[in-house]
Amino acid sequence: MEDIRFLVNIRARVCCSDDSQSPYIIVINIPPTILQELDTIYPDKGPKITANLQDKILIIEAIITKAHEIAARRLKVYIDQDIMKMGLEFEVLNSGEARTTSGTFVKEPDTRFTLLDHDWPILVIEAGVFESDTKLKMDARGWLEPHDRKQKLL
């Protein structure tokens, strides 16, 4: 785990000095305990992650760029405002960036909205400012594949 922490720190420094560098680190053959291990080395807030536990793949975003944050936050604000205009602020909750897990899919979105008393989001924001099409497709597949019988795609 210290190797991963070291790589995250190096990648973050590289990205700070050269914004053309990718902030992503891909780790393969991860152990099933990877999430607990990451929570141990990053007890408060660590780098953003996406994991496919079945395929044993972890994608770490070592640093969040300013453009990424602006895009995600602006969209979140507009959605929050519209939810309030519709009078739904007590039914539709901005659940933030908390880690979402379902089966083998683990993701920390830029923001998510859930219904009161529901865990799975009804709306997810993933600002893909610098993400590849492959990464965006992987994220979309994880959010959209049915995770229980109540979920339906329209």
Distant-in-sequence contacts of 16-22, Cβ < 8 A, 24+ apart: 16/63, 19/65, 22/130
Domains and CATH numbers, the chain: 2-144 (3.90.1570)
| pLDDT number for residue 29 | 94
CA distances from 120 to 17, 102, 107 (A): 37, 9, 12
**Would you call 91 helix, strand, or coil by DSSP?**
coil
**Can you give the pLDDT at residue 101?**
82
Check residue 150 and give its pLDDT: 59
- Would you state the pLDDT for residue 70? 85
Q: Which residue bears the tokens 């079945």?
A: 54
| pTM for the model | 0.69
Residue 149: per-residue pLDDT:
47
The half-sphere exposure of 9 on its side-chain side, counting CA atoms within 13 A, is 8
**Ordered mean pLDDT values, 10 residues apiece, the chain (154 residues):** 85 84 90 88 82 90 80 92 96 88 83 89 82 80 70 54
